[in-house]
Amino acid sequence: MATFFGEVVVAPSRAGLDEEEEAREETPEDREIRREIEKKRYRQCGRLRIEVLWSCAEESLVCSRFIVAIGRNAAAFLSSFILDSVCWEVIGVVKLWNEWCRTSSTTNVLPTDSFCLFYRLIADPTVLLCQCSCYVAEDQQFQWLEKIFGSMQKKGLQVTILSTCPVADYKTQESTLTLVSPFLKALKTKEFQEQVCCPLLEQPNIVRDLPAA
Q: How far is CA 81 from the centre of its chain?
A: 20
The pLDDT value given to residue 48? 44
Q: How many CA atoms lie within 13 A of 95 on its CB side?
A: 19
The pLDDT value given to residue 64? 92
Q: Which residues pair with 138 in a beta bridge?
A: none
Long-range contacts of 203-210 (CB under 8 A, 24+ apart): 203/5, 204/171, 205/170, 205/171, 207/163, 208/165, 209/136, 209/138, 209/141, 210/70, 210/132, 210/136, 210/141, 210/144, 210/163
Question: Cα–Cα distance between 38 and 49 in angstroms, integer?
Answer: 9
177 Cβ contact list (under 8 Å, min separation 6):
none
The pLDDT value given to residue 47? 44
The pLDDT value given to residue 29? 81
Per-residue model confidence as pLDDT tens for the chain (213 residues): 556 555 666 665 555 445 545 445 778 887 777 777 666 655 555 444 678 888 876 667 889 999 999 988 898 888 888 888 779 998 888 877 776 665 555 545 455 545 688 999 999 999 999 998 888 888 888 888 988 898 888 888 999 999 998 888 888 887 777 778 788 899 998 888 888 888 898 888 888 888 988
The pLDDT value given to residue 24? 56
User: Residue type at 204?
Assistant: P
The pLDDT value given to residue 46? 45
Q: Give percent helix, percent strand, percent coil of the chain, each to the nearest 5.
A: 25, 20, 50
The pLDDT value given to residue 35? 75
Question: Cα–Cα distance between 174 and 96 in angstroms, integer?
Answer: 40
Q: Would you list the domain boundaries of the chain?
A: 49-162
The pLDDT value given to residue 119? 92
